């Protein structure tokens, strides 16, 4: 009995030690992700985009283009898309920054009106209480004026950040280029580490199929989000919102950040509606966008994607908030692609290990 108790105690201690190591490893990984944000964030973003662009790389290979030319062309297309997007957004961003005091004033005025309405209801209740009890009204003291201002980044701040942005852009471009150039070698290296020599080729093919599956998924999501952006542009045009194409582009881009992206844009539509319209009409932009996003999320995306890459919503939400905490908005962009890529790779690795175990059992039975 003493031996059994000692063995059970040893097992519990081993399990506790394993859990402690896992917790320490997670904490160390989180600290490393935050500490090395300027290096790891562009690297991870480049790897994710490289997986998404893998069908384009396969196309260059099918038409007989050298790998260097294909990787360089894909990189140039990606950087060109980013530059065009920045050029389109830059004038609108400048106008938003210049109009930010007006937006804050309009928002503050609306909030003050709501506060005044609720304050009036509370005063009515206090008057009724004083009429019943006969108490004198308390003296009112004037509060200090709100002199807080919102600091807006100026040219000096932009120049100060320019070297860091250029450095991260160089890291992103280099990682994306070399990943597109050597992705087959990368998967072959992974296959050699997780499979015996007799199965290395099959495992490398599985990893490339997993990459293709993730890329196909995000191509489908990109088409859906683009359709949502077009619908939002049409809806905002019908409502008379200024610069509807900007709202459509924002709907397309923010819809890649599940849950949080649509929530942020819904809040932006509420503020823009209060600035642009009066009364109940101020809620129309947010309601129109909310209806479109509801149709996309509940009907269009499930019908197009199906159950091929279904993910637990809690896991998606935790990945989002974790990477937003690590790397800010960039973390929100890479969280879901990275999660899906990791899940598909983990599934392929598990299937590979099952095949290896089955092959070993079959070899043992033959020898026996």
- CA 9 to CA 225: how far, in whole Å? 55
What residues make up the domain containing 56? 40-126+166-367
Q: What are the tens digits of pLDDT across the range 187-245?
A: 888 888 877 777 788 778 888 888 888 888 888 889 999 999 999 999 999 999 888 88
104 with 150: CB under 8 angstroms? yes
Closest among 51, 44, 40 to 74, alpha carbons compared: 51
Closest among 293, 245, 247 to 273, alpha carbons compared: 247
- Decide if 68 is inside a domain: yes
Which residues, 6+ apart, have CB-to-CB distance to 222 below 8 Å?
A: none
Q: What is the mean pLDDT of residues 146-161?
A: 52
* Predicted confidence (pLDDT) at residue 81 exceeds the cutoff of 50: yes
- Decide if 140 is inside a domain: no
Q: What is the mean pLDDT of residues 13-40?
A: 80
- Decide if 155 is inside a domain: no
Q: What are the tens digits of pLDDT across the range 276-291?
A: 888 788 889 999 999 9
333 with 256: CB under 8 angstroms? yes
* Predicted confidence (pLDDT) at residue 120 exceeds the cutoff of 70: no
Which residues, 6+ apart, have CB-to-CB distance to 363 below 8 Å?
A: none
CB atoms within 10 A of CB 241: 21
- Decide if 108 is inside a domain: yes
* Predicted confidence (pLDDT) at residue 151 exceeds the cutoff of 70: no
Q: What is the mean pLDDT of residues 333-343?
A: 82
Q: How far is CA 127 from CA 114, 115, 121, 136, 183, in A?
A: 20, 18, 10, 10, 75
- Decide if 133 is inside a domain: no
Q: What predicted TM-score, i.e. pTM, was given to this entire model?
A: 0.70
- Decide if 3 is inside a domain: no
| SS3 track for the chain | CHHHHHHHHHHHHHHHHHHHHHHHHHHHHHHHHHHCHHHHHHHHHHHHHHHHCHHHHHHHHHCCCCHHHHHHHHHHHHHHHHHHHHHHHHHHHHHHHHCHHHHHHHHHHHHHHHHHHHHHHHHHHHHHHHHHHCCCCCCCCCCCCCCCCCCCCCHHHHHHHHHHHHHHHHHHHHHHHHHHHHHHHHHHHHHHHHCCHHHHHHHHHHHHHHHHHHHHHHHHHHHHHHHHHHHHHHHHHHHCCCCHHHHHHHHHHHCCCCCHHHHHHHHHHHHHHHHHCCHHHHHHHHHHHHHHHHHHHHHHHHHHHCCCCCCCHHHHHHHHHHHHHHHCHHHHHHHHHHHHHHHHHHHHHHHHHHHHHHHHHHHHHHHC
Question: Residues of 83-118 as b/e, b for ≥16 C-beta within 10 angstroms?
Answer: eeeeeeeeebeeeeeeeeeeeeebeeeeeeeeeeee
Residue 337 confidence (pLDDT):
82
Q: What is the mean pLDDT of residues 121-150?
A: 55
- Decide if 79 is inside a domain: yes
Structural domains of the chain, count: 1
Assigned token pair, 157: 């701040």
Percent share of the chain, pLDDT over 70: 78
- CA 55 to CA 212: how far, in whole Å? 7
Q: What are the tens digits of pLDDT across the range 305-320?
A: 765 566 777 888 888 8
Q: How far is CA 281 from CA 234, 239, 288, in A?
A: 17, 10, 11
* Predicted confidence (pLDDT) at residue 15 exceeds the cutoff of 90: no
- Decide if 19 is inside a domain: no
């Amino acid at each position: 009995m003493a031996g059994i108790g000692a063995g059970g105690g040893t097992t519990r201690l081993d399990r506790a030690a394993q859990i402690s190591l896992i917790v320490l490893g997670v904490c160390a990984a989180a600290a490393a992700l935050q500490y090395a944000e300027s290096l790891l964030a562009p690297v991870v973003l480049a790897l994710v985009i490289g997986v998404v662009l893998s069908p384009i790389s396969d196309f260059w290979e099918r038409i007989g283009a050298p790998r260097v030319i294909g990787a360089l062309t894909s990189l140039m297309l990606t950087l060109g898309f980013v530059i065009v997007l920045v050029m389109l957004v830059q004038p609108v961003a400048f106008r938003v920054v210049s109009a930010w005091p007006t937006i804050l004033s309009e928002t503050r005025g609306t909030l003050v009106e709501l506060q005044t309405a609720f304050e009036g209801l509370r005063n009515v209740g206090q008057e009724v209480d004083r009429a019943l009890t006969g108490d004198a009204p308390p003296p009112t003291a004037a509060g200090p004026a709100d002199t807080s201002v919102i600091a807006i980044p100026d040219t000096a701040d932009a120049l100060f950040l320019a070297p860091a942005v250029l450095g991260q852009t160089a890291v992103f471009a280099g990682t994306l280029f070399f990943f597109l150039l050597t992705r087959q070698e990368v998967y072959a290296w992974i296959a050699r580490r997780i499979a015996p020599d007799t199965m290395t080729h099959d495992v490398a093919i599985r990893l490339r199929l997993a990459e293709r599956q993730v890329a196909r998924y995000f191509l489908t999501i990109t088409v859906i989000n683009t359709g949502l952006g077009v619908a939002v542009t049409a809806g905002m045009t019908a409502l008379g919102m200024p610069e509807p194409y900007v709202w459509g582009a924002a709907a397309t881009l923010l819809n890649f950040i599940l849950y949080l992206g649509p929530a942020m844009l819904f809040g932006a539509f509420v503020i823009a509606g209060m600035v642009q319209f009066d009364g109940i009409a101020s809620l129309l932009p947010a309601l129109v966008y909310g209806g479109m996003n509801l149709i996309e999320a509940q009907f269009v995306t499930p019908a197009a994607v199906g159950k091929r890459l279904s993910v637990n919503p809690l896991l998606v939400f935790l990945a989002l908030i974790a990477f937003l905490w690590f790397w800010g908005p960039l973390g929100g962009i890479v969280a879901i692609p990275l999660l899906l890529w990791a899940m598909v790779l983990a599934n392929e690795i598990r299937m590979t290990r099952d095949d290896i175990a089955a092959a070993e059992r079959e070899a043992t039975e033959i020898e026996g």
